Amino acid sequence: MPTPDSPDGFVLLWSGGKDAALALDVLHSQSPRRIEALLTTVVEGEDRVTMHGTPLSLIRQQAGALSLPLHVMRVPAMPPNDVYEARLDAALTPLLDGGFRTVVAGDLFLDDVRAYREQAIKSLGATALFPLWQRDTTWLARRFLERGYRAVVTAVDTTQLDPSFAGRVYNEAFLDDLPDDVDSCGERGAFHTFVTDGPSFRQQVPVVTRAEEPGERMHTVRLAPGDEEEPPQ
């Protein structure tokens, strides 16, 4: 938590994916300030990260590997803005009362997403910070790999990518195989990821794919801890 000498704590909106990990990495490499807490959003009743489909249990393992406290916000599937904002208020208010004043997000270049976050966060008395904003996404993708981060693709939007991309390792081969019109970081929602290792992690968070879950639009893979025993046949 923030200290009396440093009251302006940073809380990072944490999806478990590469953009959130990059935001932490870039911020820590270019600023003396540090992320002191994570806030993740999951679908209530499922406890899986919105859009990404990652189980909350794996997000908790990531937080442990990062040595950061994790705060959880639960929302209905596809919540209307007023419901989302009410849940955000309930989740952030205790942190703001504890001295946090800046909310960090890994958004890259979508102006409408940034404007909405800024408005919602400002209305609660906090400041939004976007350390990746308008950086070249091809460079960011390569930096992620060069820095030694590892990730798996958890979900793809089948209107933008073939379902076969789900479950793949996010690596050079994955980037080379992306269609020209799909952003290297998936900023337009083409795909989502789960980070399993990297220089910010004290230990790896290994995962295995248990099943594929086709949806009307999103094709998701079911992740489980890599050390979990195989289910009986």
* Torsion (CA) 127, 81, 68, 201 in degrees, nearest 10: -100
Neighbours of 15 (CB within 10 A): 25
Ordered by where they begin, the domains of the chain are 9-129 (3.40.50.620), 137-225 (no CATH)
Please give the backbone phi and psi of residue 114, each rounded to the nearest 5 degrees, phi first. -60, -45
DSSP string, 170-189: -SHHHHHHS-TTS-TT-TTS
Task: Note the residue count of the chain.
Answer: 233
Secondary structure E strands in 95-197: 100-104, 127-129, 150-157, 191-197
The CA-atom distances, in angstroms, between 31 and each of 4, 34, 41, 69, 150 are: 20, 8, 26, 20, 23
Sheet holding 150-157, edge to edge: 191-197, 150-157, 218-225, 207-213
Q: What is the dihedral of CA 43, 11, 30, 112, to 10 degrees?
A: 50
- What pLDDT tens digit does each residue of the chain (233 aa) get? 564 444 578 999 999 999 999 999 999 988 888 899 999 999 999 999 998 899 999 999 999 999 999 999 999 998 999 999 999 999 999 999 998 999 999 999 889 999 999 999 999 999 999 999 999 999 999 999 999 999 999 999 999 999 999 999 999 999 999 999 999 999 889 999 999 999 999 999 999 998 898 888 999 999 999 865 443 33
The pTM for the full model equals 0.90
Give the helix/strand (H/E) hosting 144. helix 137-146
Distance CA 177, CA 107 (A): 23
Position 2 scores a pLDDT of 61
Taking a C-beta distance cutoff of 8 angstroms, is the pair 60, 196 a contact? no
* Residues contacting residue 123 through CB under 8 Å, at least 6 positions apart: 85
